[in-house]
Amino acid sequence: MDSLDLQALTLARDWHTAGHAVWLVTVLDTWGSAPRPPGALLVLRDDGTVAGSVSGGCVEDDLIARVREGERVTRPSVVSYGISKDEAARFGLPCGGTLRLVVEPLQDPAWINEVLARVARHELVARRLDLDTGTTRLEDAARGEGFTFDGHVLRALFGPRWRLLIVGAGPLSQALAGMALALDFEVTCCDPRDSYHAAWNVPGATFTREMPDDVATAMALDPHCAVAALSHDPKLDDLVLLEALKSPAFYVGALGSRRHTAQRKARLALFDLTASEIDRLHGPIGLDLGGNRPAEIAVSILAELIAVRHGVALVQKKPAVPLPGGVA
């Protein structure tokens, strides 16, 4: 779940509890270029205050103006923007884009409480809104499902935020953690070494001195998780890799040269990992962007991680170096 949407739902509940009239605005579908995907949320308060985003600019301004001018939607209603090129330009939709929204009054925030609680438990949940009746119900959801709208029923998914486990607390890890937080990852860093933990200073990230394999087990790595082994200590990095490569984590990477990566794979093959599990390892970690400073390497790691998450081919990857004996 996008933290922007999570924040919007939290504020919608709080504003409603405080006595404000509140409307939820959800992106139904888009044509052409649009900055926010179907399912994206905006929350609109009766005084024009907003949270979240559906377009990143002018559409929000129009919605605010409608409320301030006294428009009060009392049932779910569909609103379209950018039908013509002139309207698209007026509302800041590039390339003649079109945006269709559903605006609905928030009647009872009880479902929001349940969504927030289930997301906090790293569960995936779907909200089903019937536009004809205005009724909402929550359903279990499965990974791989997406936002749907059939003209009458809207089904939006809410699920756990993307999580990133980092092993090692050096400068690279701190740079990576800060950038990952900005990209909406829930970040945990572990490093049991006394010489590193004192320097850790990344507000918003969780730090622990527990052993990496114990942290990975406790996190119950799932398809919303990524793991980056960056400690430079094979004893620590290999521990987390033994757990992560057997898990459903969508991304597992380890720092090291191509030769060190080949040696690491040879070590991992001595344990109860299959060849296909070892092949899941992204090493050397990150795309080949040519940088060598901590922040530049962090960018390359996140670039690769994002590409893997979206199923994009890793065209900026250095080829592996095989070791004698055919180990790649």
Domains of the chain: 3-158 (no CATH), 162-309 (3.40.50.720)
How many angstroms from the chain centroid is the CA of residue 207? Answer: 20
* pTM (2 d.p.): 0.72
Asked whether residue 20 carries a pLDDT value surpassing 90, the answer given is yes
Q: What is the mean predicted confidence (pLDDT) over 40-47?
A: 93
- Confidence category of residue 328, pLDDT binned at 50, 70, 90: low
Strand ranges of the sheet holding 41-45, from the earlier edge strand across to the other edge: 50-52, 41-45, 22-31, 98-105, 77-81
Q: Please write the tens of the pLDDT for every residue from 112-155.
A: 999 999 988 878 899 999 999 999 999 998 766 788 999 999 99
Band (5; pLDDT cuts 50, 70, 90): confident
Judge whether residue 327 has pLDDT over 60: no
Report the half-sphere exposure of 321 (CA within 13 A, side-chain side). Answer: 10
CA dist., res. 145 & res. 21, Å (int):
32
pLDDT tens profile 242-285: 999 999 999 999 999 999 999 999 999 999 899 999 999 999 99
What average pLDDT does range 309-317 have in this prediction? 83
What pLDDT band is residue 56 in, cutting at 50, 70 and 90?
A: low
pLDDT of residue 89: 60
Question: How far from the centroid of its chain's Cα atoms is residue 124's Cα?
Answer: 13
